Amino acid sequence: MAQQHSFDAWQSPLSGRYASKEMSHLFSNATRFSTWRKLWLYLAEAEKELGIDIPDEALEQMRANLELDAEQMKQAAEEEKRRRHDVMAHVHVFGRKCPAAAGKIHLGATSCYVTDNADLIFLRSGLDLLLPKLATVIARLRDFAHEHRALPTLGFTHMQPAQLTTVGKRATLWIQDFLWDLRNIKRARDDLAFRGVKGTTGTQASFLQLFDAFPDKHERVEALDEKVTKLAGFDEAMPVTGQTYSRKVDVDVLNSLVSLSASALKMATDIRLLCHLKEVEEPFEKDQIGSSAMAYKRNPMRSERVCGLARWLGNIGNSARETAGGQWMERTLDDSANRRLSIPEGFLTADVILTILQNITEGLVVYPAQIQRHIAAELPFMATENVIMTMVHLGGDRQECHERIRVHSHDAARVVKVEGGENDLVKRIMADDYFKPVHAIMDKLLDPMTFIGRAPQQVDSFLSKHVEPALQPYSDVIKHAAKAELSV
């Protein structure tokens, strides 16, 4: 196996460059194979409790050798090369360390007893790692939205200037997406059931034979399934399986991460556009270099990285779907190599994305003066309806007023677009005696705060009624969450 910092062999940047130590360790061979040994122990313990002759010494030796050292990993690799079977290679190596248990390890089981049940443990543990990280990102965005709840900014539809919103209100759109992800991931996590003890094609025939001497053998097989499930920390086992658990479970879990990738892609893209406008800027460290050639540049590289990783994560969902749909009858083996890639990489990618998003949200910089500059360039056009309505209220003719505004607006637009000048629509209105009735109140008609509707109130209501309750289960984690640092 390649070492973490190997320079002479390719390794995934997800584990070698980006992902957290905890998530990388979860999907490591060390965790996988020690989990297999725990599952063999659970099976032996439950079988003994239900009447199978397994010596106490066998269980003691198994408990004492649940972790693998480098020598055992080497032995297992040699055994696998010889036997062309990873599970049986580890059965033999485990048996050497536990001679009293050698003839009882894997009793009645098929390979999927350890591989599939271990995968379900990893899926649940992986989601348990992601949920508090996602909650922390939401909490950071909550603080950002509250701080800027009433800061007017241009809204954009079709990426063209539109009615004003606020910086905080825009952030709530990101938060709402992530709240749905929090719900989806938690639901996928809570829906996970154990494969349990099902035998080679899911019929439990081998275990029925194991308990053949007992008149209540069917009940004992059911009890075995339940006991192993409880020992592994699950509340229930799947009622039916083939040789494997349905790969639709993988689709369900990975789709919750795919949905997260869409939310991350949307937010990171918005931030990149705002960086282009110089209205918002992601964190930029003191010694950070934006470009090897253009020293002045402050590229939004964190958001760009999120976009790239989100595209990768989104496509992993297709792999899980095709794998689930392509399983024949009770199972085929074309799922194995694919799942060795898609499941760990899906979780590691989601982990990296959340770390970067936390780092971004903990250091977002807002530039109100630049935001106001953009508002000033567009607001005169948006304020024309206010001017018309006020003029009519003061006794003016709506159609005549509209025509004069239309002419002035087109002339002002020509100055901006053709001559490259500033928007002088307000000056034109102020110079036109027809609009004298509103000259004294033009500042009020152009006040950005009168164009943001209920945006601040919407932020307050959304945060209190929806965000706070969703974050409550994670309050301690959020409170003690360390500031997200990026290694590279």
Which residues does the annotation mark as catalytic?
A: 158, 291
Nearest-angstrom CA–CA distance, 133 and 19: 13
* Helix/strand/coil for 365: strand
Tokens, residue 182: 């929090």
* Helix/strand/coil for 281: strand
Q: Which of 96, 109, 121, 280 is nearest to 189 (CA)?
A: 121
Burial 103-126 (b: 16+ CB within 10 A, else e): ebbbbbbbbbbbbbbbbbbbbbbb
Residue pair 422/416 in contact by the 8 Å Cβ criterion: yes
Nearest-angstrom CA–CA distance, 27 and 119: 9
Tokens, residue 179: 């709240």
**Angle in degrees, CA 331, 335, 336, rounded to 5:** 110
**Angle in degrees, CA 245, 250, 256, rounded to 5:** 145
**Angle in degrees, CA 446, 450, 455, rounded to 5:** 140
Dihedral, CA of residue 213, residue 219, residue 220 and residue 223, to nearest 10: 180
Nearest-angstrom CA–CA distance, 45 and 60: 10
User: Where does residue 420 rank: exposed (0-12), middle (13-18), buried (19+ CB within 10 A)?
Assistant: exposed
Q: What is the largest CA-CA distance in the chain?
A: 107
DSSP state of 421: -
Tokens, residue 238: 């799947």
> How many residues in total does the chain contain?
488
Neighbours of 291 (CB within 10 A): 11
Residue pair 62/37 in contact by the 8 Å Cβ criterion: yes
Tokens, residue 194: 């154990």
* Helix/strand/coil for 237: strand
